[in-house]
Amino acid sequence: MGLGNVTENVRDVNDNAKKYIDSSIEFYKLSFFKKFMKATVILSMSLLLGAIAFMAILIFSIAIARNIGQAVGDIITGFYIMGGIYVLLMVLVYVFFKRPLEKLLLKKFSDIFFEDEKDL
């Protein structure tokens, strides 16, 4: 085996290593882009649906507060009662649903970011 063959083999190994590194970089760029876009779509849909739900709840709350106010004889009291209901609901959600919500979100986003690359 001559020195020329060894030099040529070293060059081939070097070229193959560069191609492998370039391919790996491109793969990880594509993988990151896919995961980032999936998370972005989920976040965007959640925000959109949350905004629509917020508007619906706001309109229903105004109607319910007005009806409660008419029932007790003072419209402002109806709004205070609705505000109290929402404060109570906020405390209950914070106390009872904080941990399950954290676990749900952590699982969902870890499934996105740590999924197998077979379908990429």
Q: Is the residue at 87 inside a domain? A: yes
Q: Is the residue at 58 inside a domain? A: yes
Q: How many CA atoms lie within 13 A of 82 on its CB side?
A: 20
User: Residue 39 corresponds to which amino acid?
Assistant: A
3-state class of 36 per DSSP?
helix
pTM reported for the whole predicted model: 0.63
Q: Is the residue at 80 inside a domain? A: yes
Q: What is the pLDDT of residue 52?
A: 98
Tokens describing residue 89: 């609901």
Q: What is the pLDDT of residue 118?
A: 57
Q: Find the domain containing 48 and state its range.
A: 3-113
Domain count, the chain: 1
Q: Is the residue at 64 inside a domain? A: yes
Q: Is 78 exposed, middle or buried (0-12, 13-18, 19+ CB in 10 A)?
A: buried
Q: pLDDT tens for residues 1-55? A: 556 677 788 788 888 899 999 999 999 999 889 888 988 998 899 999 999 999 9
Share of the chain above pLDDT 90, in %: 56
Q: Is the residue at 119 inside a domain? A: no
Tokens describing residue 64: 């319910």
